[in-house]
Structure 1
Amino acid sequence: MINIAICDDEKICIDTLLNDITEIYGDTTRFHFRSFNSGEDIISNFTRGQFDIIFMDIEMAEMDGLKTAEYIRSLDRNVILAFLTNYEKFVYSGYEVNAFRYILKDQPRPIYIKQIKDTINEYNRKLKYITIYSNDVLQKLMIDDIYYIEVYSREIIIHLADKCHRTTGKLKDYEDTFKGMYFAKPDRSHLVNAANIDFVEKDRLLLKNGEHLYISRRHYKDIVEAFIEYTKSRCI
């Protein structure tokens, strides 16, 4: 069950989005919807982990969508936020709340439908995980939490934001597993998750946890392409 909140101060917009999701997916028994008519309304009823996806209008009276999202993000860093707006000027607002999409209400319908589907597909993508044996214990690691994988002296080291797990295997096996998921090699010994890259320079990349890795000349193009493709997937 995917828990979806829709926050908009115009009921017709809430009803339209509900109808659009129903039209896209047909059977909506996999979804649970809850609607809110203001930023204050959703905040007063919000708890961490309550929703998987929130579609939120940016332009609302009193407490707008950006301020509402800041509060929600302070409590829940995992919920997927998608902003709805009538104006292109708002499309690049709110990166500080890590919004997944900015959806223009009045745009060609094929693009609008694709953005709705992309937002819901992001939930499915974030569910993906791998299992590894580390210290004789079978562990589940969410792929989004992986920053990079390193091969060192016949050992695989999987680095998360603030810790790492050691296991056995081949780096090539992880390349195959993560194919099409925005992973790329900066050199022959590392495999990086582009979702956790902050920026790329000529000969190194900086990760969101402050670590940096050097990029070989041979692998620079692969890193840049993965970073651009991931960024495009978040903004289009």
Structure 2
Amino acid sequence: MVNIAICDDEKSYVDTLLNDITEIYGENNSFHFRSFNSGEDIISNFSRGEFDIIFMDIEMKELDGLKTAEYIRSIDRNVILAFLTNYDKFVYSGYEVNAFRYILKDQARPIYLKQIKDTIDEYSRKFKYITIYLNDVLQKLMIDDIYYIEVYSREIIIHLADKCHRTTGKLKDYENSFKGMYFAKPDKSHLVNAANIDFVEKDRLLLKNGEHLYISRKHYKEIVDAFVDYTKSRCI
């Protein structure tokens, strides 16, 4: 169950957003909704982990969305925040509280619906995990934490920011499991999470932890496409 909060002082828009989400995902979705009509209202009902996603109107009376988000972010760093507004002048302010998305209410409907969907899908991407055996114990590993996976001497090595885990399996199986999640192969022995790529050069890529990986000519387009698609998903 994904817990979604909608905070907007226009009740009509709260109803509209609920209908829009139902249009995207259908009636039989796994969402639980709570609505709030002011910043003060959601703050008085907020605690860490209370919600997975918050859609927040910026232009509210009394305590506006940005001030409300500052308070929420001081308590919960993981909740996904998406700002809603009729104006584009607040776009840069939203990123000061690590907002995932800035959504104009009156923009072209296909783009608007895509942004709503991307926001909700981000929860699935961010908190999706795999299970692997480590020292004969089955453990969860968050996919968002994976930098890359390599196959070496019949072993699978899963690299995180500052450590790695060794397990068994086939690289192809991981490739199939991560379809649609911005993973790509820079060569035949590695599978990289584009979410953790810093930049791409002609024959190598730099990861956010400072590591470099070689890119073969055959796989260059695959890496670039994954990196561009991931970057675009963050700003469209």
TM-score normalized with structure 1 length: 0.83
Query: Is residue 2:192 matched to residue 1:192?
Result: yes
Query: Is residue 2:48 matched to residue 1:58?
Result: no
Q: Which amino acid aligns with 1:142?
A: M
Unaligned runs of 5+ in 1: none
Distance 1:71 1:36, change over 3 A: same
SS of equivalent to 1:88: coil
| Structure 2 partner of 1:14 | 14
- Tell me the distance in 2 between the aligned counterparts of 1:71 and 1:25: 30
| Structure 2 partner of 1:136 | 136
| Structure 2 partner of 1:49 | 49
Q: How many residues align?
A: 235
Distance 1:22 1:176, change over 3 A: closer
SS of equivalent to 1:54: strand
SS of equivalent to 2:224: helix
| Structure 1 partner of 2:35 | 35
Once the two structures are aligned, what percentage of the paired residues are identical?
85
Contact 2:56/2:83 (<8 A) preserved: yes
Contact 1:186/1:213 (<8 A) preserved: no
Contact 1:147/1:193 (<8 A) preserved: yes
- Tell me the distance in 2 between the aligned counterparts of 1:122 and 1:87: 24
| Structure 1 partner of 2:214 | 215
State the Cα distance separating 1:183 from its structure 2 match: 0.7
Q: Which amino acid aligns with 1:224?
A: V
- Tell me the distance in 2 between the aligned counterparts of 1:73 and 1:102: 16
Unaligned runs of 5+ in 2: none
| Structure 1 partner of 2:149 | 149
Residues 177-206 of structure 1: CA distance to partner in whole angstroms, max 9, x if unpaired? 223321112344322111222333445434
Distance 1:108 1:206, change over 3 A: same
